[in-house]
């Protein structure tokens, strides 16, 4: 994972790191006696190349290794690389269709990678430990290469264009197993696993519609820029990779400690966090396996050494579902455009679509002739006196988060005359009239969460209605906004009588029977002042019980 530029570690973590080298010497010494790194290692037969469409299943349980940021000291010291937690999610895909003629004409991308020797793989027991794990997990390698088959040609080409070692295109194997939908516990995302802070530094935009960290083109450019910046600082690829994982601040402090103790300052001599102690050897092990797959008995499914996708520049936002109907496989569009969080372009850009390189040119014309999807149309709105973020969002049938993201706002406060971008088609009064707004004045100081429990709604929803957060504490006299929707016709229900209980409100009763406050008012007296024992007439659906 790319760590934030500043990193603080707890004291216990520091003690573990001080112990790691000693533990490593003991455990790795015993490991070397049972190493299985021989040319005669058992090889799992290569998977068959299917001709059917890719099977894309998000949140599918997988047994891929834990990302480097989750590794802990003991496992690293003993040379063990644990499997992923059973709850880990990975994107499962089939390998892309292999064209034997194209493979014969353009060659294998793995052979292309072998041509570079820019990154040196040392003879080191920490690398041997990682090699032992990889050579024993052919199934993992098959899954990883299936994911990488769509993106690897691009990452290799971009490294070459920047005159960087093309072995760096293998780094997403360590970061995410080449899963563009991967998200770590630290909220790092995409094949290069950018955390939000570093993503912002390197220009990866995030909005309600779009996440540049998951965009193959933008994230690859940002990752190589970051790696280039680190190389200008350290002039050593091992230190660069360590800083990419842990952050340059941690690497700098480790170098300073060694300098003060008159110790070497190369990567192998530094006392670094446990995850970083495993991260670089793990990458180097992958590099060595790609160079010498036959030696290690590992099968790498061939990938044609040609771009798998091409870029179509759009003249307007596009919906992926509509694009698929114009003549392209929907699953491929999803896999090639993972930055589109809601299966549609961000109106703010980038206005482009990645499609398989072999897609017919007629698709481009059909794509440009599609009308802009209704849910993508926007208009401008000028803030008036008394407007709030929530009321504007509700007026245009938007989420508060969507309104904030669309306008790059980081706080809820607005000022009169401010111009906002809102969704155009959602200002339809007929749609807005289906929502009814009610107000509750608080008699005592109360939290949003407590009010939500009292009204039988979620704290998150109540907070969104009022433009605040679920933990906010409201003062006595504050007015809370509540939204409900009318349900079906009264003729489809049966009449019951409900006896008001202590603590009841119109809204809590409406939630219980899945009707609106307005309907309860219309069935009874329009202005109701509830009191315990009062009888209310309510028309409920046939499957609702009479609790009165």
Enumerate the H helices of 297-428 as residue ranges: 320-325, 330-336, 362-368, 389-395, 400-406
Distance CA(84)–CA(180), nearest Å, equals: 17
Q: Helices 11-32 & 274-291, crossing angle to 10 degrees?
A: 40
Residue 426: which residues within 8 A CB-CB, separation 6 or more?
396, 397, 398
Distance CA(362)–CA(357), nearest Å, equals: 13
Cα angle 123, 125, 130; round to 5 = 100
Distance CA(451)–CA(408), nearest Å, equals: 30
CB 36 within 8 A of CB 136: yes
Distance CA(361)–CA(162), nearest Å, equals: 29
Helix (H, G, I), strand (E, B) or coil at 201: helix
Helix (H) or strand (E) holding 221: helix 216-234
CB 204 within 8 A of CB 194: yes
Distance CA(94)–CA(100), nearest Å, equals: 17
Catalytic residue among 160, 167, 175, 446: 175
Cα dihedral: 445, 449, 455, 457 (round 10): 160
Q: Would you call 332 a catalytic residue per the annotation?
A: no
Q: How many CB atoms lie within 10 A of CB 538?
A: 23
| Residues annotated as part of the active site | 175
């Amino acid at each position: 994972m790319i760590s934030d530029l500043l990193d603080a570690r707890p004291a216990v973590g520091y003690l573990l790191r001080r112990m790691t080298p000693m533990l490593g010497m003991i455990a790795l010494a015993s490991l070397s006696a049972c190493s299985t790194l021989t040319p005669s290692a058992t090889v799992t037969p290569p998977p068959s190349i299917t001709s059917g469409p890719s099977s894309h299943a998000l949140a599918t349980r997988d047994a891929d290794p834990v990302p480097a940021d989750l590794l802990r000291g003991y496992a690293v010291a003993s040379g063990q690389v644990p499997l992923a937690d059973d709850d880990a999610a990975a994107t499962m895909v089939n390998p892309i269709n292999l064209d034997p003629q194209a493979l014969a004409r353009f060659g294998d991308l793995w052979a292309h990678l072998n041509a570079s020797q820019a990154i040196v793989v040392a003879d080191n027991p920490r690398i041997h430990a990682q090699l032992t794990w990889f050579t024993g997990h052919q199934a993992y390698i098959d899954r990883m290469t299936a994911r990488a088959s769509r993106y690897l040609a691009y990452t290799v080409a971009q490294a070459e264009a920047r005159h960087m070692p093309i072995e760096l295109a293998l780094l997403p194997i360590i970061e995410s197993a080449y899963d563009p939908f991967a998200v770590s516990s630290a909220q790092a995302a995409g094949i290069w696993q950018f955390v939000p802070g570093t993503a912002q530094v390197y220009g990866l935009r995030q909005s309600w519609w779009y996440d540049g960290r998951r965009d193959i083109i933008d994230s690859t450019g940002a990752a190589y820029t970051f790696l280039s910046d680190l190389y200008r600082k350290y002039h050593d690829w091992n230190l660069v990779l360590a800083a990419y994982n842990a952050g340059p601040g941690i690497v700098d402090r480790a170098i300073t400690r060694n300098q003060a103790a008159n110790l070497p300052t190369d990567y192998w001599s530094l006392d670094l966090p446990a995850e970083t102690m495993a991260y670089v050897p793990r990458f180097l092990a992958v590099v060595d396996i790609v160079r010498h797959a036959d030696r290690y008995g590992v099968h790498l499914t061939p990938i044609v050494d040609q771009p798998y996708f091409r870029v179509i520049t759009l003249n307007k936002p596009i919906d992926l579902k509509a694009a698929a109907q114009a003549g392209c496989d929907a699953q491929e569009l999803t896999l090639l455009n993972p930055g589109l969080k809601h299966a549609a372009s961000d109106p703010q850009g980038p206005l482009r679509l990645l499609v398989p390189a072999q897609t017919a040119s007629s698709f481009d014309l059909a794509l440009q002739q599609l009308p802009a999807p209704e849910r993508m149309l926007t208009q401008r709105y000028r803030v008036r006196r008394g407007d709030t973020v929530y009321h504007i969002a509700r007026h245009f049938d938007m989420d508060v988060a969507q309104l904030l993201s669309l306008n790059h706002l980081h706080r809820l406060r607005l000022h009169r005359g401010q111009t906002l971008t809102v969704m155009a088609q959602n200002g339809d009064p007929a749609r807005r009239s289906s929502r009814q707004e009610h107000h509750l004045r608080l008699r005592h100081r109360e939290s949003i969460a407590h009010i939500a429990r009292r009204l039988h709604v979620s704290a998150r929803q109540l907070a969104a209605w009022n433009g605040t957060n679920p933990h906010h504490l409201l003062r006595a006299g504050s007015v809370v906004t509540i939204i409900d929707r009318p349900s079906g016709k009264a003729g489809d229900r049966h009449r019951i009588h409900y006896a008001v209980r202590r603590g009841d409100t119109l809204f809590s009763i409406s939630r219980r029977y899945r009707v609106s406050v307005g309907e309860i008012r219309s069935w009874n007296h329009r202005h109701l002042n509830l009191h315990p024992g009062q009888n209310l007439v309510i028309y409920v659906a046939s499957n609702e019980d009479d609790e009165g």
